[in-house]
Structure 1
């Protein structure tokens, strides 16, 4: 495995994750500065910008994945990083909402390189090591998830535009690093012609779903992602309502979760995979997650919740193991396309989960609610995890994916 190239890819994924959290602390002030309006209007526009970002990831992840299958991982990753650095500069100097929206459009497109990074890992990984290497990508994302808000909050002291300049500098530096160390892993043997019919979410899903056994596994991945996104969607609201946690305590608990997730993905997963194999890891991991979500949804003591947080992070072994199972069912010239589809599914989760989970939270915590249950979103997530487990169990009994 080319270690410097892997380091570059992991940094790229970490920057993708950091790019989201890095700017979150300053977005309210930046939007108010640009709009000249109050916090309510800023929140509305912030929601629009977030939705635009996620929508672009959904639409363009298959496109970038297919482009990388045709032209290679190297040009797609490097060009995306160059555009991303430009995008951060644009956001840093933006004086109108139009420019901020354009910035989020470009940001969502370039952040869709997660699929190409995963395809690179699939290219260089032997079958037995795919899960642990996908785990490294998840660990890098988890590290970025933790570092982003922390660094963003510190840089915010210098002004609402400082994090964008910092993000631009980091991205440009990573571009230069990748330019010198990143090899091309797509060969003439695995190169596949680019087809527009397959370079969109619907077309890519249609082609990938034709592979034996992949359709039910994508269903598992879909429900798992929506379930797992309950954490970023409602954690801050849930802990504030149920345990009266301060913003500092909420940030600390998120850091505990992020660090625990990164350790699980980087260290623990290889031991679990070696002991149980990928299929059993997914099977028992889904059940473990369902149990952990039930405990979190019903716990009444804040310190007990904090103790449960790193244990809940262990359930993160499911995603890389499931990715490895699906990667093994796709041809070498379809790895980018497959990862693009999975990234689009993940983007759907990023759009759907906050809408659904926050509404459930509101319904069970509103004034006059027939039952005060702040943990209701986690119980819903538990049910979705059980649905994932049921689909997966059925797919094990019927590995070709035919109707049962």
Structure 2
């Protein structure tokens, strides 16, 4: 039985779990405005070359999360949530401080690999909340994780931009210091939530990153089309955290502070759409129209990134609120997908969606940074810093086309029967 969440110890544990996720997102956001300068300082190269390295750094981070997510989750089932969460914070502190001191690209990659492995602890954070919260209050407390994501993406870039004015490496030390402080707080305040009698042995066969994709096996054609649309869209969406800082510095000569404030505006727009407009618009206009608005808004906003000249950085601040409406895309498709599957396969479906999102996070960064480098490198035939955003807009429209095909099948009721071996066997 889950503990009641009214005791002081439980409340402090919830605060700690919130801070674990918040610090990871703050750390991710803090480094975004200054990462281009750090890489160019280390390599002595151009922004174009630095962007390519940044793409592979993001690839390493996402790949580690994809591989280690189920491993870390299974370890927490075996040894408890507390050691995994505390270990993650210790790893964060080491990773960010290592980035701050990194003398070469090799050490930057080592740091991002460590951070990616530690970032796989998100699943443990959700499990901890489920352990200590009664079923009727879990949705409310799971919302803390979403709030941590949103706040981290708002305040992280702004803080990184401000600190970056005093030193390129200072934001990394700040992120490491925050992780170390939370580690000390958790060491004294965090109680174990999983009693020994509820633990299970570690099974490597269940700790396979590809296992979750089995949730799509045997699903009807509607779900497959929706899942494909979501994967394509998520690949396009990666362009913002990966390329924005490089683009703004190259196209407009923005400082780390301006980049950080602009990214904070992106975070605020996402928070408004996902925290408020979703609840109002989707019930009124339906999932189909919400998906269309989300895709078209991203495509339209990408035009501003492509056409903005050196003295037209103000266009970006017009594009940001327009692009924020893309936040309607994913929850609308998730809602339609959940309607197209049976109640007993909802968990499998969401696990598969999470795996697809991880794959998109692995594929997108090197793709978009390579495009940025090709269109900004010295001697390029056509100089266009906004090319990655143009490509993202096109990819987003492809996602919309895939979705509309799936929706047409949904409306006509055309559903493929699952193969015999995928059907549920009942007594």
TM-score by length of 1: 0.73
Q: Match for residue 51 of structure 1?
A: 59
For 1:49-198, what aligned pairs fall within 5 Å after superposition?
Answer: 49-95=57-103, 97-120=105-128, 124=133, 130=139, 137-179=145-187, 180-181=189-190, 184=193, 194-198=202-206
Matched, 1:389 2:419: no
| Worse-matched range after superposition: 287-296 or 77-86 | 77-86
Matched, 1:315 2:326: yes
Matched, 1:288 2:297: no
Q: RMSD over aligned Cα, in angstroms?
A: 4.6
In 2: Cα distance, 1:261 partner to 1:62 partner: 28
Q: Given that residues 17 and 125 in structure 2 are in contact (C-alpha distance below 8 angstroms), is that contact kept between their aligned partners in structure 1?
A: yes
In 2: Cα distance, 1:362 partner to 1:86 partner: 30
Match of 1:219 among 210, 222, 228: 228
Q: CA deviation at 1:84?
A: 2.1
- In structure 2, do the counterparts of structure 1 residues 96 and 144 end up closer, same or farther at CA, with 3 Å as the change threshold? same
Q: Match for residue 354 of structure 1?
A: 365
Q: CA deviation at 1:363?
A: 7.5
Partner of 2:205: helix, strand, or coil?
helix
Q: CA deviation at 1:38?
A: 1.4
Where structure 2 has 5 or more consecutive residues not aligned to the other structure, the ranges are 6-10, 420-427
In 1: Cα distance, 2:261 partner to 2:176 partner: 27
Match of 1:306 among 311, 317, 323: 317
How many positions carry a matched residue from both structures? 390
Q: Deviations over 1:177-226 (max 9, x none)?
A: 4452566279967x6654212312223423x3358567665434422311
In 2: Cα distance, 1:197 partner to 1:157 partner: 48
Q: CA deviation at 1:389?
A: 2.2
In 1: Cα distance, 2:79 partner to 2:298 partner: 42
Partner of 1:184: helix, strand, or coil?
coil
Match of 2:241 among 221, 232, 240: 232
Q: CA deviation at 1:237?
A: 6.4
In 2: Cα distance, 1:111 partner to 1:95 partner: 24
Q: Given that residues 227 and 381 in structure 1 are in contact (C-alpha distance below 8 angstroms), is that contact kept between their aligned partners in structure 2?
A: yes
- In structure 2, do the counterparts of structure 1 residues 183 and 203 end up closer, same or farther at CA, with 3 Å as the change threshold? same
Q: Match for residue 216 of structure 2?
A: 209
Where structure 1 has 5 or more consecutive residues not aligned to the other structure, the ranges are none
Partner of 1:39: helix, strand, or coil?
coil
Q: Given that residues 21 and 152 in structure 1 are in contact (C-alpha distance below 8 angstroms), is that contact kept between their aligned partners in structure 2?
A: yes
Matched, 1:376 2:390: yes
Q: Given that residues 61 and 344 in structure 1 are in contact (C-alpha distance below 8 angstroms), is that contact kept between their aligned partners in structure 2?
A: no
Higher alpha-carbon Rg: 2
Partner of 1:291: helix, strand, or coil?
helix
TM-score by length of 2: 0.70
